[in-house]
Amino acid sequence: MSGRIYFDHSATTPVDPRVLNAMMPFLEGCFGNPSSMHREGRKAREAVEAARAQVAALLGADAAEIVFTGSGTEADNLALLGVRPPAEKGHIVTSSIEHAAVLETCRYLERRGIALTYLPVDQEGIIDPSDVQAALRPDTYLVSVMAANNVVGTIQPIDELARITKQHGALFHTDAVQAAGKIPLDVSRCPVDLIALSAHKLHGPKGIGALYVRSGVELSPMVFGGGQERGRRSATENVAGIVGFGMAAELARQGMQGESLRLAALRQHLLHGLQAAVPGLYLIGDPDQRLHGHLSVGITGHESEVGAFLKVLDDCGVAVSAGSACSAHQAGAPSSVLLAMGFDPERARGLIRITLGRFSTRDEVDRAVAVFADAAAQLWPTAQSRPHRIATEVFAN
């Protein structure tokens, strides 16, 4: 792996060595079950509760409002399935660009008789708050809109959407799996009721997530058993994973401000480098309202050849992706997120997602730009003489 450039941090991130250090004792000597009354058990319990406080602090929440789950997917499922409609039937509002963890759960609920509205997005992938207002019905009991999109990186106006939802009397859930630890999320200022998180997106371990549940919100469990997590998610806790999540949340919270600036500058440097090196390369998504380390681009006229392009990049040591990791098995198919943003099916095949992380460097960015240039020249030799197109031209027709 050495010498490789990993720019796919939206798929997953390397575990921070400080996170690993915090976890190690709980994979070795401290193996107690947090529900046990003896010393070993109490030690594990203390570690779980300390980590719960660290994750809560990332959101400005109380520790008691955090439920640990096995993943971000499970946290989303718990939110959508655990909140019950007041009557037998009800209505949920969500967006057309949610992650499968939300969309597939919504489709399941639809089959069970719940009515769904899938909101449109604009050309940058952003939801118009007036569309949420217009979609609300007397029987709407839940609105679920992601904080930041995993494919194009655009950030939604969550505060405003949550406020509109609360004025209506419904609950508001946000999938913050991509956003948490990268942009500020503060539940004392934003009236969101449920937030899904995942440790492996913020330099923590895989297989551990959390759901923030605002105090007073009623939530039915999905997993029944020994009553762990205050009865909301039974199962012996993943102590090492939880401890790692706590440390990852703590590091993300402490470093957020500086890291945001560093990543935004690095991303701009990357975009300018790529635009100069690859003819026809254009930005996808909002230029400003996006995750700092997230760059999504297309290459005019070569959208259907992205698979071959990524293969050359990979062979040359650069790991990037064609959208979300979960849809990688559908490579070559148009991205549903880009279709929702108004791209025609041909162009919707052409997304290259480049996502930077804590350990990404300027040197890596410069080397990646050179590899992109070589790969483009190798695949499309005649394109080198073509004039560059700019992002807005993608939408010109």
Contact positions vs ligand PLP (CB under 6 A):
71-73, 76, 99, 101, 146, 150, 175, 177-178, 198, 209, 324, 326
Q: Match 């009354």 to its residue by tokens.
A: 37
Strands 209-213 and 66-69: antiparallel
Q: From the candidates 30, 190, 316, 326, which is the catalytic residue?
A: 326
Question: Using CA atoms in the order 261, 262, 265, 266, what is the torsion angle rounded to 10 degrees?
Answer: -150
- What is the number of alpha carbons within 13 Å of residue 311 lying toward its C-beta? 8
316 is catalytic: no
Task: Name which of 308 and 326 has its Cβ closer to ligand PLP.
Answer: 326
Task: Name which of 195 and 318 has its Cβ closer to ligand PLP.
Answer: 195
Task: Name which of 73 and 336 has its Cβ closer to ligand PLP.
Answer: 73
Smallest distance, Å, CB 79 to ligand PLP?
Answer: 11
Task: Name which of 300 and 324 has its Cβ closer to ligand PLP.
Answer: 324
Smallest distance, Å, CB 267 to ligand PLP?
Answer: 18
Smallest distance, Å, CB 190 to ligand PLP?
Answer: 18
Cβ-Cβ contacts under 8 Å for 258 (sequence gap 6 or more): none
Cβ-Cβ contacts under 8 Å for 162 (sequence gap 6 or more): 172, 174, 190, 191, 192
Smallest distance, Å, CB 125 to ligand PLP?
Answer: 13
Q: Match 């209505």 to its residue by tokens.
A: 91
Task: Report residue 80: phi and psi, to 5°.
Answer: -75, -35
Cβ-Cβ contacts under 8 Å for 107 (sequence gap 6 or more): 116
Task: Report residue 79: phi and psi, to 5°.
Answer: -65, -50
Report CA 202 to chain centroid distance, whole Å. Answer: 10
Helix/strand/coil percentages in the chain, nearest 5? 45, 15, 40
Q: Which two tokens stand for residue 51?
A: 């980590």
Smallest distance, Å, CB 17 to ligand PLP?
Answer: 21
Q: Which two tokens stand for residue 282?
A: 């254009």
The residue nearest ligand PLP at its CB is 72
Task: Name which of 229 and 300 has its Cβ closer to ligand PLP.
Answer: 229
Task: Report the catalytic residues.
Answer: 326
